[in-house]
């Protein structure tokens, strides 16, 4: 990775979070410029991919619609619409970095080794469900730090983590999807939704372990270590990392009243800082470690980032008066609490996802 790209990526993340926290336009605009430059420098990296091609189609469509009726410059500024989401994808990955660099993955896998092989996938599901309300999307990075490449078939571990996180989406008020829904419906309290949520949670837990319906996952999570290989100092260090992420998220959300995306992104940076402070030996090579990590993550999310950026431009065009007027019939239809409108939303989003369009 170019040193310039490294600076652009984390400069973009910093400016995006600062813009979310303060509400100032300048950091958000600076973040958009850095993102555009970074994507431009690595155009050949994302353009041939599926999301990259779709991003180019959406961007071309957005600019064409803007030329027919809209403000082209304002349309391009729509890159900021999803800047915070792209920053979130990059920042939550930082949680995984100190987990691996500090060797915490070994005692965590040792703990899992104490669970019978037939129950390990359920243990991973339960652990993910418990961690997700605290770490939000950082749960993915945390769990992958010690489970990656340790299951047969390869899909067993990620499927188990996905099920656990999915269960948290049904009830946890601190988890991103629930918080977003509750913010959209302020007249409905979380307690009022709890009877339905708990019922769905219980049903999903039963389905996850069901052998009758064939929904219990088959396979083996081979942790690769013996149960006695516990290192309590590393486990306590891992608990400190999780605690840092949780406290940071709560502080940003409740004390600073920041948008949820900033409250999810900031813990990744806080965990990295905690690691550098609590593990002095890590400071010597942290620039190299961060550079290598950023290279891998940027390559993993760059096409999706381009898709988000293009989607933001298209969204900005559709919000402009000319196209908003043209589309008012469809907006009115989706805003009506009818079975048809609800079916269009519930079924429409998964259908769009099949074609590679991100649910967000």
SS (H, E, C) 300-326: HHHHHHHHHHHHHHHHHHHHCHHHHHH
CB 275 within 8 A of CB 98: yes
Task: Please state the pTM of the whole predicted model.
Answer: 0.75
Reading the chain (360 residues) residue by residue, the pLDDT tens digits are 677 888 899 999 999 988 888 888 889 889 989 999 999 999 999 999 888 998 999 899 888 888 887 777 778 888 888 888 888 888 888 887 887 777 777 777 777 777 777 778 888 888 888 888 777 777 877 787 777 777 777 778 888 888 888 888 878 776 766 766 766 677 877 788 888 888 888 888 777 665 444 456 666 676 666 566 566 777 787 788 888 888 888 888 778 888 877 888 888 888 888 888 877 666 667 778 788 888 888 988 899 899 989 988 988 888 888 777 777 777 666 666 677 777 777 787 778 777 766 666
Tokens standing for residue 40: 């431009």
Query: Which residue from 247, 265, 227, 282 is spatially nearest to 103, judged by alpha carbons?
Result: 282
CA distance 186 to 171: 16
Alpha helices in 185-285 (DSSP H): 190-208, 232-250, 260-278
> Which residues, at least 6 apart from 41, have a Cβ–Cβ distance to it below 8 Å?
2, 4, 5, 8
Give how far Cα 142 sits from Cα of 58, 153, 245, 247, Å: 33, 20, 11, 16
Tokens standing for residue 97: 């970095």
CA distance 38 to 67: 25
Q: Each residue of 100-109: b (16+ CB within 10 Å) or e? A: bbbebbbbbb
Tokens standing for residue 246: 């949780």
Give how far Cα 150 sits from Cα of 7, 106, 137, 167, Å: 33, 12, 21, 23
Which pLDDT score is estimated for 276?
Answer: 81
């Amino acid at each position: 990775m170019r040193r310039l790209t490294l600076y652009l990526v984390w400069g973009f993340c910093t400016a995006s979070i600062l813009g979310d926290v303060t509400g100032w336009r300048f950091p958000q605009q600076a973040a958009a410029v850095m993102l555009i430059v970074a994507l431009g420098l690595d155009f050949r990296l994302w353009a041939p991919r599926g999301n990259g091609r779709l991003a180019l189609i959406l961007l071309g469509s957005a600019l064409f619609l803007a030329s027919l009726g809209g403000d082209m410059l304002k349309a391009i500024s729509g890159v900021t619409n999803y800047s915070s989401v792209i920053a979130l994808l990059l920042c939550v990955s930082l949680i995984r970095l100190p987990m691996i660099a500090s060797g915490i993955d070994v005692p965590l896998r040792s703990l899992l080794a104490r669970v019978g092989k037939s129950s390990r996938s359920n243990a991973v599901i339960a652990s993910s469900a418990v961690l997700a309300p605290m770490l939000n999307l950082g749960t993915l990075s945390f769990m992958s730090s010690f489970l990656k490449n340790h299951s047969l078939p390869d899909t067993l571990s990620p499927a188990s983590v996905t099920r656990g996180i999915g269960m948290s989406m049904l009830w946890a008020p601190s988890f991103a999807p629930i918080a977003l829904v509750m913010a959209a419906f302020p007249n409905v309290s979380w307690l009022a939704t709890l009877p339905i949520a708990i019922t769905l949670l219980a049903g999903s837990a039963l389905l996850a372990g069901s052998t009758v319906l064939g929904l219990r996952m088959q396979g083996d999570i081979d942790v690769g270590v013996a149960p006695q290989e516990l290192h309590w100092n590393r486990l306590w260090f891992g608990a400190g990392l999780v605690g840092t992420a949780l406290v940071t998220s709560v502080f940003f959300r409740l004390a600073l009243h920041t948008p949820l995306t900033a409250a999810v992104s900031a813990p990744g940076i806080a965990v990295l800082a905690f690691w550098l402070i609590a593990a002095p030996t890590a400071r010597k090579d942290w620039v190299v470690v961060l550079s290598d990590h950023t290279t891998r993550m940027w390559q993993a999310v760059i096409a999706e980032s381009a898709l988000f950026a293009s989607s933001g431009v298209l969204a900005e065009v559709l919000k402009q008066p000319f196209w908003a007027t043209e589309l008012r019939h469809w907006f009115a239809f989706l805003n009506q609490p009818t079975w048809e409108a609800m079916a269009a939303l519930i079924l429409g989003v998964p259908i769009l996802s099949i074609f590679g369009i991100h649910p967000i």
